[in-house]
Amino acid sequence: MEEVHIVSEPAVPPTPPVPLTSLLAREDLGLRQIAGPPAAGVAVHWAHTSEMADPYPYLLGGELLLTAGVHIPRAMGPDTYFDDYVSRIVAAGGAALGFGLAPVHDTVPRALVAACETYGLPLLEVPPQTTFSGVARAVWQLMARARTAELRRVTEAQQSLAAAAARPDPVPSVLRQLAQRVGGRAVLYGPEGAEIAAAGRPDAEVGAALAELAGAVVARASASASDTAAGAHLTAYALGAGGGFVLAVAAPRRDPGDHTIASVAAVLLSLLTGEHQSGPGAARSSALVRLLLGAAPAEVAGLLGAGPWHVVHARPDGSAAPDPVAASALGAALGSPLVDLADGVVRVLLPAGREAEPQQGWTLGVSAAVEPAEWPAADAQAARALARARATRTPLVRQGTRAGLAELLPPDEAAAHARTLLAPLLDQPALRETLRTWLSLHGSWDRTAVALAVHRNTVRQRVARCAALLGADLDDPDVRMELWFALRRTA
């Protein structure tokens, strides 16, 4: 691998160069290449006219240098004149030489043709009817079109990356979009240098070089670095402020537009992977330590913010399981950093002042607003609301908060009655939860099966078993109502 270069490139792509082939294709110009290497792959950054015998001091590199040969001595002395002239253009980084026919020369000097062949400089014949200003105007026209096309490409890429970041699997989605847009490979490395996610065609040599470059960015505390390997251009970007995450990109080209696109992806991934060690983060850590050491939830809730609280359960639409980064992104979208991921379900503890809203790509169940002492009950409420949301294909279902007839009974007496009524089911949580879900879905076998992720025949068997153990007629609406009230008291 070559020496790593620390890069600091502009966020907005500059005007892209013009392919020399595009100029040659302009019929109105009538340009003809008569010497030098093939035009394919030659880029022109601007056009410049000069009749200096030595244009080197006036060239920046990348020019199509236009000359009518006024500088050529009438009485040619040493045969090295054209060699010296062309070699100086090449040394200055000139892209090509355009020689105008008339009024000074009727043909391109053969010695100039030979020198361009020797030094590998494309030589164009400019016909008498084509003015140098016309060639320059054509260059600027092509550059303006290329600029517009490049800006459109970058804008479309930015929009697709933003949409990818809003998906339930934001990190893999952003990497897939980035790899597609630059036509290469994108890899996210974690703080320990491990590959977290990747997209694009894998290559062993490129993969090793990307990992090495990512390590160099972390070791040198650099914002970004670039390198090449196996014909690919590599760039690595540090994400966030010292978080240790690195985005590494391999692309067949190193275009300014590709750098801009990768920079947008790096910003999005920084937001998705950001480590927040601020005051609120320290308070959350303190609350966790206290809970682990035996403190009651009510004692530590003040460290987390003002209550009461909602518990939110969420699953991504489709069959894909959420990853930790997707879970954190969902929490950020809902407005809470208190996120837990377990068994394919994301749980979020949300202050009641922040109303949970439907999230694209997710199905949510939301509990009633409760105080910390009731968090376990709210967790059960959110789980049931999520099951109902999935069964009814509703983006979000909230636990009802209105007081009902059941609230008129003293809580202790109601709980005692519920335990007595449901005694045969108290030690069989699967049967109890099946009955609760089946009643909440109005006796629908199919929806209950979806909510519980079991076969509908399993639902039928469990409900029949409940009816037998309880000695109850579950077709009777009065029986269903009483069981429903009792099940709510045994959450």
Give Cα 371 distance to the centre of its chain. Answer: 37
Number of H helices, E strands in the chain: 16, 17
Q: What is the CATH number of the domain that holds 387?
A: 3.30.70
Pick 244 or 345 by higher pLDDT: 345
Q: How many domains in the chain?
A: 5
Domain co-membership, 294 together with 310: no
Residue 11 pLDDT: 41
Q: What percent of the chain is predicted at pLDDT more than 90?
A: 37
Average pLDDT over residues 403-429: 74
Distance CA 470, CA 466 (A): 6
Let me know whether 95 and 166 are in one domain: no
Does residue 24 sit within a domain?
A: no
Judge if 199 and 187 occupy the same domain. Answer: yes
Poorest-confidence range of 136-140, 161-165, 326-330, 382-386? 326-330
Query: Domain end: 398, 432, 455, which one?
Result: 398
Q: Do 284 and 310 share a structural domain?
A: no
The rounded percent of the chain whose pLDDT value lies above 70 is 89
246 and 168 co-located in one domain: yes
143 inside domain: no
Q: Is residue 141 domain-resident?
A: no
- Same domain? For 346 and 319 the reply is yes
Residues 290 and 323 in one domain: no
Q: Which residues of 390-417 are buried (b: 16+ CB within 10 A; e: fewer)?
A: bbeeeebbbbeeeeeeeeeeeeeebeee
pTM above 0.85, yes or no: no
SS3 labels along 252-270: CCCCHHHHHHHHHHHHHHH
CATH number (domain holding residue 183): 3.30.450.30
pLDDT at 338: 82
Please give the residue that has the higher pLDDT: either 8 or 211: 211
**Is the per-residue pLDDT at 407 higher than 60?**
no
Residue 136 lies in a domain: no
Is 223 domain-assigned? yes
pLDDT digits (tens, 9 = 90+) for 100-130: 998 899 999 999 999 999 999 999 999 999 9
**Where a domain ends, among 356, 373, 398?**
398
CATH of the domain at 467: 1.10.10.2840
pLDDT at 275 over 50: no
Residue 334 zone, left/alpha/beta (φ > 0; ψ -120 to 50; rest): alpha
119 and 217 share a domain? no
Average pLDDT on 267-291 reads: 66
Query: Domain end: 369, 398, 427, which one?
Result: 398
Compute the average pLDDT of residues 83-99: 96
Burial of 2 (C-beta count, 10 Å sphere; 0-12/13-18/19+):
exposed
Q: Do 265 and 164 lie in a common domain?
A: yes
The closest alpha carbon to 452, from 472, 437, 439, belongs to: 437
* Residue 392 sits in the same domain as residue 446: no
pLDDT of residue 184: 92
Q: ∠ at Cα 22 (232, 252), nearest 5°? A: 5
Residue 139 lies in a domain: no
Claim to verify: residue 429 and residue 360 sit in the same structural domain: no
- Asked whether residue 119 falls in the same domain as residue 184, the answer is no
Render pLDDT for 439-486 as a digit per residue (tens, 0 to 9). 988 889 999 998 888 999 999 999 999 999 989 898 888 888 888 888
Q: Say which residue, 355 or 60, is predicted with more confidence.
A: 60
Does residue 442 fall inside a structural domain?
A: yes
Is 144 contained in some domain? no
- Domain residues for the domain of 320 are 306-398
